[in-house]
């Protein structure tokens, strides 16, 4: 059982409800769950064409969506941060002294074999236990 579980939640993927069920089962009595969404700002030259207010509004919307997703779930807080997926999940969990990270992983495609997936990075570099939920499709 774990005292602080970070559930990495991409708001556009369907792992969230299942991941939260798994987290509830693995949580120690009196423990807490943080549902974490990492918001990635557009990269490279795309930034030249997007007004900062658009990015800020999208981040605020992500904060609202993650809060809505966990509303009413006991011992759970929703948090949105800006950063890069894998590295930000690892850094956040470490800074919060989490003892478990739960995240989903889709069937890898060619880009994942060349670059590595977020789940693979988290598994390789996390300081704590990592539970990877596979896509059932």
pLDDT digits (tens, 9 = 90+) for 88-113: 999 999 999 999 999 987 666 654 45
Contact present, 47 and 41 (Cβ < 8 Å)? yes
Q: In this structure, what token pair is assigned to residue 32? A: 């807490």
DSSP 95: H
DSSP 83: S
User: What is the residue range of 130's domain?
Assistant: 2-134
Which pLDDT belongs to residue 115? 44
Structural domain tally of the chain?
Answer: 1
Residues 6+ apart with CB under 8 A from 35: 7, 9, 16, 20, 66, 69, 70, 76, 77, 78, 79
The domain spanning residue 75 has which CATH number?
3.40.50.620
pLDDT in tens, 15-69: 788 899 999 999 999 999 999 999 988 777 777 778 888 889 999 999 999 999 9
pLDDT in tens, 66-85: 999 999 999 999 999 999 98
């Amino acid at each position: 059982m774990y005292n602080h579980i970070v559930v990495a939640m991409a708001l556009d993927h369907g792992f969230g409800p299942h991941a939260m069920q798994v987290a509830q089962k693995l949580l120690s009595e009196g423990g807490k769950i943080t549902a974490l969404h990492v918001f990635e700002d557009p990269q490279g030259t795309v930034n030249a064409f997007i007004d900062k207010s658009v990015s800020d509004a999208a981040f605020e919307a992500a904060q609202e969506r993650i809060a809505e997703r966990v509303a009413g779930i006991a011992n759970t807080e929703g948090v949105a941060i800006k950063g890069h997926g894998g590295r930000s999940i690892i850094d956040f969990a470490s800074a919060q002294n989490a003892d478990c990270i739960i995240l989903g992983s889709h069937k890898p495609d060619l880009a994942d074999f060349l670059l590595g997936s977020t789940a693979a990075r988290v598994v390789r570099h996390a300081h704590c236990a990592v539970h990877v939920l596979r896509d059932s499709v």
